[in-house]
Amino acid sequence: MARKSDSSPSSLLLATIFVMTLMALSQPLWALPPFPGNEAEEIEVQVGKTVEITSSYRYCWFPTVQRFTSGEVMATMRMSPDEVNPEGDISAYCISKDKGLTWSRRYTMGAGANVDGAYSESPRPDGTIWQLYGWVESYLPEPAEQLHLTLTKFSRGGMEFQQWRDVPLRMSQPIQLARTELFDRRVQDGNLAKQPTVVPWGPIIEALDGNLLAPVYYTAERDQRYYRLALIRSSDGGKNWSEYSTVAAVEPGEKPWPGTGGEGPCEAGIVRLADQRLYAIYRTGGDGFIGQAWSSDDGKTWTKPASTPYKGVALRVRRLSNGVLACTTGRPGPVVVMFSVDGSGANWSHVTPIFTGKSTHYTDFIEVEPGKLLVVYDSVPYGWHPIPYSDRESKNVIYGTFVEVRKSRH
């Protein structure tokens, strides 16, 4: 359920770069103590080569990127409109065998390679990469909190996958059902009339006890003002999932915390810190600021939601091999990567523009080798609209840009 652009990136480019530069130099609105011993450390960030992963005269946008244990890199992309229409959803993926320098043709599929999904933070012990598909099923007349996930397991460097479309998911409360419709005609297209507003989005991570955790955002039937951000958990190796905890939410009758946008917490990046805490950073809406929270008990409870000084969508965060946290995002301005040098998430700096053209600003990245990132993003010259047939030149493009991050000490 990726949402429409909040504003025009091209018209805000200069202003956005200026504002984000100021934010990078300013003190945040919140602070936690840095990790001991890192106060004198700094980083150097260098943006390097950009490669084209794939392109199309049709829809080709919203990328993600993962890496198999065997070394192959998989970049996924949506090939259909941004609409509530699971029956018409098309996605695809490309494979690189040289750390992202060159890429294969697109391999097309439906469920399993869409940005609206939760992907393995790292390959599972058997080398597979998992995805919990973003379209969750409701089997009427089952209760509105009893749903079903589609689980896809990619293996053999992307050349094989297995898929289960009826993995049980139990939520803590009844879920709002949204009307399905086409992007352009605004009518139902197929037999599916209602779609649960539950979206797995972010990483599938391993809990300290070996169970699996994944973020989801959803709209509850009893209070449809804002999304709620939660963790779901599987204690049987992914066969069954249930809601485990609330990461951030505006409860019924409450007012949102300062800086919250009109959507509420959604699209979360979650990462395990060096001290074993979990850190979550998430979208709240185009008119609001990015939110964040920490958990000291492996995701069971979370600190109160707090806003950062930054705006953005589709937060992706990883802890790099040098201990630094990296996060990619964008909107209203360019696609950027920023860093938490002390690895705590408490302070973000070095906001580095990657791409200043028109984009959905949905991004992802991996560390292809120590200190070297591959950041993927899209270029969409007509935004949320298809390229008109009269334009024989323009294409939607998925790009990858390499970024080097080096620690230094002052």
Q: What is the pLDDT of residues 4-48, one digit of tens each?
A: 555 433 333 333 333 333 333 333 322 333 333 344 579 999 999
Q: What is the pLDDT of residues 193-203, one digit of tens each?
A: 999 999 999 99
CB within 8 A of 255, min separation 6: which ones? Answer: none
pLDDT tier at 3, thresholds 50, 70, 90? low
Q: What is the pLDDT of residues 241-299, one digit of tens each?
A: 999 999 999 999 999 999 999 999 999 999 999 999 999 999 999 899 999 999 999 99
Specify the pLDDT at position 140: 86
Q: Is the pLDDT of residue 361 over 70?
A: yes
**Phi, then psi, of 27 in degrees rounded to 5:** -80, 140
Which percentage of the chain shows pLDDT scores above 90?
Answer: 88
Mean pLDDT of 356-364: 98
Q: What is the pLDDT of residues 293-352, one digit of tens each?
A: 999 999 999 999 999 999 999 999 999 999 999 999 999 989 999 999 999 999 999 999
**Of 340 and 140, which is predicted with more confidence?**
340
Average model confidence (pLDDT) across the chain: 91
Considering the four listed CATH numbers 2.120.10.10, 1.20.200.10, 2.40.40.20, 1.20.140.10, the one that applies to the domain covering 13-409 is 2.120.10.10
Residue with tokens 């984009």: 359
* Strands lying side by side in the sheet with 61-67: 61-67, 73-78, 91-96, 107-109
Residue from 176, 184, 181, 182 nearest 193 by CA: 181
Specify the pLDDT at position 39: 44
The CA distance from 242 to 24, in Å, is: 39
Question: CA geometry: angle at 129 spanning 81 and 169, to 5°?
Answer: 70
Specify the pLDDT at position 210: 97
- Contact between residue 335 and residue 355 where contact means Cβ atoms under 8 Å apart: yes
Specify burial of residue 185 (Cβ count, 10 A radius: 0-12, 13-18, 19+). exposed
Whole-structure pTM value: 0.91
48's enclosing H/E stretch is: strand 41-56
Locate the domains of the chain by residue range: 13-409
Q: Is the pLDDT of residue 96 over 80?
A: yes
Specify the pLDDT at position 22: 33
The CA distance from 79 to 114, in Å, is: 9
Specify the pLDDT at position 2: 54
pLDDT tier at 236, thresholds 50, 70, 90? very high
Specify the pLDDT at position 408: 85
